[in-house]
Amino acid sequence: MSTISVIIPTYNRRAFLLEALASISRQSRPVDQIIIWDDGSEDGTAAAVAQIDDPRVQYFAATNAGKSAALNRAMQHATGDYIWICDDDDLLVEDAAETLAAVLDAQRDVGVVGGSYARFTDHREGRQFTGPGYWPDLSTGVPLRHLLEDIFLFQNAMLVRRSCYDRVGPFREDLHRSIDYDMIVRLATRFPVHMVDKQVFLQRKHDGLRGPAAQRHAASHVENVWAKQDAEVFLGLRSHIPLSLLQAMYEGAPETVFRAACLQRGAAYARHGLWQEAMADFEAGVQSLPDAPLGETELGICRRAVSGKHGVTPPAEALDRLTQLRRGTLAGRDLAGGLGRGLLWSIRRAATDRDLHEALRLLRLLSRTGLRMQSAASATKPPLRERTHIPAAAYNW
């Protein structure tokens, strides 16, 4: 049977760590190695771990250098066939290891297996549970497409072959946050990801300061912090998201598939606020088939481009370029129509959330750009279908 190594980087969370370790000890499929990498804790973590009578536990202490450094150094001591990276404040469902490892055992072509999760908060009244927050519709498209558009898969919910980590290289130590997102995308662009329809861990939500020791932030500011960091991550991932791989997400005529791939990469970058990169892809897609209307699959890509959880903030230059595309070609008009549909969805969401300031801002944006729900309904649209899996050969880019 394949072996499992658990890696837990920790910093000043003794009580949470002990609870996380208890959830690991209750796994229905026992793990084979538990590496605790103490990144400079000063709260008695070492003494607490010393009381644990479990030969699988290996404790390492180092000066505070951040989560990436902790993971890279801990990985050097991992001996398992499968790697399971767990946060020190979250809890694992009892059959999580059994559920995830069964997929890797049975499907040798799968490099990463992931599952869902729930959130919990401890109050005086007891423990309260909520859903996972953002979660995409995984019934359409491949996991990679959803990961490019937004993070939804977390390391506690992932079991990864050690050979996959060896191929993609170490965690980026120049990033203060979003290191998980960076690594997940790097893995997903090289190896098939399989999702199971099951909760495998519980994510603790708590107040107070978050992030690495040198750059703490209040929990109330978490969305803005992560949005900025995700944008930095995607700037560095440009060379890891080749159009050839995105083309493998779709079936249809080669020229239509190429256009869809351009639009898809552009949509991912737009959702992360990187409009210069997004516009380069949008323009390349439109110019590749300027007189052919966009089909429903491509219009769906455009809608998603401006329907992300972090909002829509295209700069003036991007708005000017969008206006030029809308006026120049049939495909450009359809692109604008698809973006307009997405903006209307975002406006409805803001209104539902009673965020009238955001709703008015988006309405002004819609008016200023001239984006509308228009498409060439009477024209013959090229057939295009989104695949449910990516052919193995596409990962060899």
pLDDT (tens place) for every residue of the chain, 397 residues total: 899 999 999 999 999 999 999 999 999 999 999 999 999 999 999 999 999 999 999 999 999 999 999 999 999 999 999 999 999 999 999 999 999 999 999 999 999 999 999 999 988 888 898 998 889 999 999 999 999 999 999 999 999 999 999 999 999 999 888 899 999 999 999 999 999 999 999 999 976 554 455 554 454 446 667 678 888 999 999 989 999 999 999 999 999 999 999 999 999 999 999 999 999 999 999 999 999 999 999 999 999 999 887 777 788 898 889 889 988 899 999 999 899 888 787 888 788 888 888 888 877 777 766 666 555 444 566 789 999 999 999 999 9
What separation in angstroms does the CA of 330 have from each of 277, 333, 367, 382, 392? 22, 5, 20, 13, 35
pTM of the model: 0.90
CA contacts within 13 A on the Cβ side of 123: 7
Instruction: Say how far apart CA 37 and CA 187 lie, in whole Å.
Output: 23
Report yes or no: 234 and 269 within 8 Å, Cβ to Cβ: yes
